[in-house]
A and B are shown apart, each in its own frame.
Chain A
Amino acid sequence: MLSRSNAARIGFRGAVGFAWVLPSTVFLIAFFVFPLIHNGLKGFTESGEQSAVTSYARLLTEAYYLGTIVQTLVLSLVVTLISLLLGYPIAYYLVRYADKSANLIIFLLIAPLLTSIVMRTFGWKVLFARTGLLNMLLQQIGLTVRPINLMNGYVATVIGLVHVLIPFMVLSISSVLRGIDRRLEESAQILGANKLQTFLLITLPLSVEGILTGSILVFMLTNGAFVSILLLGQGTIHTLPLLIYQQFMVTRDVNFASAMGNILLVFALVCLFAQLRVLRRRN
């Protein structure tokens, strides 16, 4: 009797617990899982006038679209590398040398994230313009006579993206650096390693997890970046998000747009899988 009533109670509790998660489950299924599946299948249906070839085949065979995919990945790679090269020293300084200024540095780092993306991007446009602040400065100090075309698109886009994504890199690396026992570095030094050897043989290998986590984050976020590329790229950069926007809003080829979206989704999943592997190795 007792065990039966217990079982009933547990069953009842389970039911109550399920009731709590029911709304969010229904919401996610209706607005996330279903559209995802629907979207995934859409790419296999007819696309535009080319009825025989499915969207995926077109994306992966036509030079223009392949080029776009490559350009998306290359841009992400460039932004990731620059963020890493700039971010590692910042993270190192933040953890090792900054005591009182640490909060200020973190604030400055995440400030771009607190600013509206449109404001931020137009800010860069103002700075980079032919008669903008940067060109005026360069002319004043005599580095150039005529204004340089800083708004050529690619450079401006990379700068804009690095600016907003670098905090992800710095915070990922600094959290791992902070966890490194300083006595490991001291051990290496006592054993005869100089500062550079200590960094290359001890500190850097031990911070690889932070580097990977930060890189994966920046890579994924650049893959999906849209406004910065649209406004700063001046039409010179064609990445998948821009193409999706075109297909969806201009060409109105929804099937093709969703196929591209799914390609991006696959990249994101690969990145997430890589990140999972990194985290698992840590444990």
Chain B
Amino acid sequence: MAIGTTASSDIAIEREEADGGTASGWLTLDNVSKRFGQHVAVHPTTLKVAPGHLMSLLGPSGCGKTTSLRMVAGFEAPDTGAVLIDGQDLSSLPPNRRKLGMVFQNYSLFPHLNVSENIAFGLKMAKRGAAEIGERVRTMLDLVQLRGYDERYPHQISGGQQQRVALARALITNPRVLLLDEPLGALDKNLRENMQFELRSLQRRLSITTLLVTHDQEEALTMSDQVAVMNHGRILQLGSPTEVYERPTTRFVAAFLGTSNLFEGTAIESEGDLCRVKLSPSVGGLEEVVVPTTRRVPSGSPIAFVVRPEKLQLSIDNSRKNGFAIEALVLDCIFRGSYYTCQLRVTGSNEPMIAYLQAQEAGGNDMPRAGSRTYLSWTPSSAVLLDEDLKC
């Protein structure tokens, strides 16, 4: 499933020529907002994507990510603010004059045109000569490994192939910015993972500024340089995939990206980069914990922190040092191949805790039995303080 290297370097050269050799492709959403009647789809939002970077807008449906993308495309006009590429305001340009590439969730291939006619569409609109169109379509077909499929119609090729055609069609015009609207949403799991790699390496090689919209956290984490997590029309957190995953700042981000165990309490005192917290209610017999913090937390302020399931350890005894342990009752464990997912009941928490355990031996003999008593422990550094609660 590797991309043809020779073909893609041709494209890269072409791009440089098209751009006049200068690096470009700054995409800026400057204070854009959009409302539909009473419903605010996007609150005033500012976002900058560096040239050649892939930014994902991640969030549940209705969070405003698609509306944001459609404002960049020009299908929706922002109520306030503007979309800029390399400082040029796009507001007055209709979609067909913005020089963008876009891949839709269902690929939107033209059903009455064959593969090469689909790919050539953008160049035909740009009134390029037939010879140039033919050559560039061939290059594109090689790039997406669809040589020999040029005469097929969209309904005659598989979903993955349709996806590649859609990508080739979007890239052939050397767009300034590539927009991807849930581009892998319609593929099955294995193909989706393959295409994640393929799409990412192609995007890197062409070094094209890309805005990806997805509700799939895994897709956002694996493919992006930057992730903007959105909910209710606002960007809640912006950062690299590891930052966003390792240091969520809000409950929503912590819950939406992976699974997390939430603890609540009040700050007792903060010393340096640690904060002592009184758990309220106390959880599993534990009254006080220490969590890392990047700033001083006033005494008495409400605190919430999370611990990722993979950072929790299960042990029979309570002798772990340099950490905190709570009593827990194993509700259930599921074998997941390389690890187990366990649900545990602890006193003081209505929600069951989730822990991932590495499977030590084949056959699942080391799987904790449902109903057994155990201790859940973690090191102070693996707790993540949520900023959200500090502000209010």
Contacts and interface: CB of A to CB of B under 8 A. Distances in A.
Residue of B74, B102, B125 ringed by the most chain A CB atoms within 10 A: B125
B96 A186 contact: no
B321 to A, nearest CB: 58
A184 to B, nearest CB: 5
Nearest to A190: B102
Interface in A15-58: none
A190 B98 CA distance: 8
Contacts of B106: 181, 183
A181 B104 CA distance: 11
A191 B173 contact: yes
Interface stretch (A61-69, A113-121, A127-135, A192-200): A192-200
A205 interface: yes
Contact of A187 (B98, B110, B173): B110
A205 B101 CA distance: 23
A190 B95 contact: yes
Contact of A188 (B94, B99, B110, B179): B110
A184 B106 CA distance: 10
Given A192-B173, A193-B125, A187 B108 contact: yes
Interface string A192-221: 111001000010011000000000000000
**A-side binding surface: helix, strand, loop or mixed?**
helix
A144 interface: no
A186 B96 CA distance: 9
A189 B96 contact: yes
A150 to B, nearest CB: 43
A202 B113 CA distance: 9
B108 A205 contact: no
Contacts of A184: 108, 110-111
Contacts of B108: 181, 183-184, 186-187
Interface in B331-386: none
Contacts of A183: 104, 106, 108
A205 B169 contact: no
A205 B100 CA distance: 25
Residue of A183, A189, A190, A205 ringed by the most chain B CB atoms within 10 A: A190
Size range of the chain B interface in the assembly: 20 to 34
B265 interface: no
Interface string B68-111: 00000111000000000000000000111111111010101011
A191 B121 contact: yes
A189 B121 contact: no
Nearest to A184: B108
Contacts of B102: 186-187, 190
Contacts of B189: none
Contacts of A181: 106, 108
B39 interface: no
B52 interface: no
B112 interface: yes
Contacts of B110: 184, 187-188, 202
Given A184-B110, A187-B102, A192 B73 contact: no
B126 interface: yes
A192 to B, nearest CB: 3
Interface in A148-206: 181, 183-184, 186-194, 197, 202, 205-206
B112 A191 contact: no
A202 B100 CA distance: 19
Contact of A186 (B75, B125, B126): B75
Contact of A194 (B96, B98, B173, B179): B96
B96 A190 contact: yes
Contacts of A192: 96-97, 99, 122, 125-126, 173
Residue of B74, B96, B98 ringed by the most chain A CB atoms within 10 A: B96
A186 B112 contact: no
A188 B111 CA distance: 12
A190 B94 contact: no
A192 B121 CA distance: 9
B112 A188 contact: no
A187 B170 CA distance: 9
Contacts of B95: 186, 189-190
A181 B107 CA distance: 11
Contacts of B98: 190
B101 A190 contact: yes
A180 to B, nearest CB: 10
B163 to A, nearest CB: 14
Contact of B169 (A189, A191, A194, A197): A191
Contacts of B170: 190-191
A190 B100 contact: yes
Contacts of A194: 94, 96
Interface in B278-317: none
Contacts of B111: 184, 206
B15 to A, nearest CB: 17
Nearest to B99: A192
B124 to A, nearest CB: 9
Interface of B: 73-75, 94-102, 104, 106, 108, 110-112, 121-122, 125-126, 169-170, 173, 179
9 contacts: A181-B106, A183-B108, A184-B110, A186-B95, A189-B95, A190-B96, A192-B99, A194-B94, A197-B125
Given A184-B110, A191-B170, 12 more contacts: A181-B106, A186-B102, A187-B110, A189-B94, A190-B73, A190-B102, A190-B179, A191-B96, A192-B125, A192-B173, A205-B112, A206-B111
